[in-house]
Copies of this chain bind each other. A is one copy, B any other.
Amino acid sequence: MTPRVREILSWYRGENPGVVTNLARLLNHGRLGGTGRMVILPVDQGFEHGPGRSFAVNPPAYNPFYHFELAIEAGLSAYAAPLGFLEAGAAEFAGELPLILKCNNHDLLHKEKDPIPAMTAGVDDALRLGCVAVGYTIYPGSDHRVGMYEQLRELVADARSAGLASVVWSYPRGADLSKEGETAIDVSAYAAQIAAQLGAHVIKVKLPSAHLELPEAKLVYEQNKVPIATAAERVRHVVQSAFDGRRIVIFSGGETKPDEAAILDEIRAIRDGGGFGSIIGRNSFQRKKPDAIKMLTDIMKIYGGEMK
């Protein structure tokens, strides 16, 4: 157990040993094990965007085994996916890497401004599949957020009873938010805070922009000169907003970008801003496997200090 992992685990002293054990598994697995940073492979796009749109560019990715193998070969910290994808490989890859069961999902066959995901799995499933954590997406700003917060509350409580950790994707969305506002720095910081207050152990948000969405917040940010000009500063503010850095906050990669250099710059900003790592889906499995492994290795080198 490295001092940094011990330090991070100390922030969760109030949790039972089962939860802390599973957080330790996440922090100690793979190439970044022990550094206090993590890179997770999430593959829920088959459900969230459809299979053709997600996998046609790299057809081996239709196969659930592919993602287990990619995450294992690259030495990632964990693999996160919905029920079906985990069920289809959990027996074959049992014990090879930490799994996170994504317990709610949303699809695009019905349009709505205020997204409402469905609960598609639970703690019983996570336990029988050997997972270390459950995952759940909240959409702060959605007209349906109350139901999500309450569903999450139950999920986290059930997970705790089972000694599992909780990972929360916090994505502001809803009719009251502008498109730009969904990744505004004030809104992103707010989303991280909400997830932390709801009891998340690991929080995933999108990399924020310098836009300020909420008028009352804008005023305060400007009066107090909160530094948000650079990506690293914005990462720092989001991490600060999650209990002054006492919660693990990781950032998502977003849409596929062919240019690896641009991605690595984002990673450097996360590192410099004190972020705890990345969760990289499309940019991983929509590349050919060797390309993906190379890129993920570079990313982990940056986080691990082997590369600038």
Contact = CB atoms under 8 A, between A and B. Distances in A.
Nearest to A11: B88
B120 A51 contact: no
A120 B154 CA distance: 9
Interface stretch (A26-34, A58-66, A272-280, A300-308): A58-66
B124 A52 contact: no
Contacts of A217: 50, 52-53
B241 A52 contact: yes
A216 B53 CA distance: 7
Contact of A220 (B52, B150, B247): B52
Nearest to A161: B124
Interface string A28-69: 000000000000000000110111110011010011100000
B186 A62 contact: no
Given A111-B176, A172-B109, A217-B50, A129 B14 contact: yes
Given A56-B221, A193-B51, A118 B145 contact: yes
A287 interface: no
Contact of A56 (B117, B146, B192, B226): B226
A190 B82 contact: no
Nearest to A217: B53
A226 B52 contact: yes
B64 A246 contact: yes
Contact of A244 (B62, B117, B221): B62
Contacts of A196: 84, 88
A190 B55 CA distance: 12
A186 B105 CA distance: 19
A111 B181 CA distance: 14
- With most chain B CB atoms within 10 A of its CB, the pick from A14, A197, A243 is A197
A246 B63 CA distance: 8
A198 B84 CA distance: 6
B107 A140 contact: yes
Contacts of A192: 51
20 contacts: A14-B89, A14-B90, A50-B186, A52-B237, A53-B214, A53-B216, A53-B220, A62-B243, A62-B244, A63-B243, A83-B153, A84-B196, A105-B149, A107-B190, A108-B190, A109-B145, A110-B141, A110-B174, A110-B176, A120-B149
Given A52-B226, A84-B197, A120-B149, 15 more contacts: A15-B87, A50-B186, A52-B221, A57-B220, A62-B243, A82-B197, A84-B200, A88-B243, A88-B247, A109-B140, A109-B174, A109-B176, A110-B143, A121-B199, A125-B157
